[in-house]
């Protein structure tokens, strides 16, 4: 659970480079939905590119209000965060779940993201 927490706190605390080092070379980052930021991104370079697009498209308005819960299993860790993000005049206030999978070397192999209101996220992010 410590690695998952470090990854997410570094990643969304503008310490992206140290977070990316925690990924396996073939890691995937999957974002659901029908919006400009949705998709599956494979490998470190694509994950870095995607995270850059997230920060650019939100214009610095992606605010983590609180990391509300962390749950650990044998191969997975989930984290629940409450966030606010504004893109132009559209605002999302809600929750997001991250599900992180690890390999035996403790590198992150998979990150999946889920939102409590996917339709609203799609509307806020747009196409």
Supply the DSSP string of 87-117, one letter for each residue. ETTEEEEEEEEEEEEE-TTS-EEEEEEEES-
Confidence of residue 23 (pLDDT cuts 50, 70, 90): very high
- What pLDDT was estimated at residue 9? 86
- Write down the pTM of the prediction: 0.90
- Separation CA 64–CA 38 (nearest Å): 19
Residues 78-97 have pLDDT tens digits of 999 999 998 888 899 999 99
Domain ranges of the chain: 2-125
Can you tell me the distance from the alpha carbon of 83 to that of 108, in angstroms, rounded to the nearest whole number? Answer: 23
Which candidate, 74, 77, 112, places its Cα nearest to that of 6? Answer: 77
Query: HSE-up of 62 (CA within 13 Å, CB side)?
Result: 17
CATH of span 2-125: 3.10.450.50
pLDDT of residue 95: 97
CA distance 99 to 33: 16
């Amino acid at each position: 659970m410590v690695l998952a927490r470090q990854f997410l706190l570094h990643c969304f605390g503008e310490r992206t480079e140290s977070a990316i080092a925690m990924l396996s070379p073939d890691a995937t980052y999957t974002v659901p939905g029908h919006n400009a930021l949705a998709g599956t991104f494979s490998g470190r370079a694509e994950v870095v590119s995607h995270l850059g697009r997230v920060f650019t498209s939100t214009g610095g308005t992606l605010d983590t209000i609180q990391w509300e819960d962390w749950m650990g299993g044998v191969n997975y860790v989930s984290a629940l965060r409450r966030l606010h993000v504004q893109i132009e005049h559209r605002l999302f206030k809600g929750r997001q779940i991250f599900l992180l999978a690890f390999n035996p070397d403790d590198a992150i192999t998979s990150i999946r993201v889920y939102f409590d209101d996917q339709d609203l996220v799609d509307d806020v992010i747009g196409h």
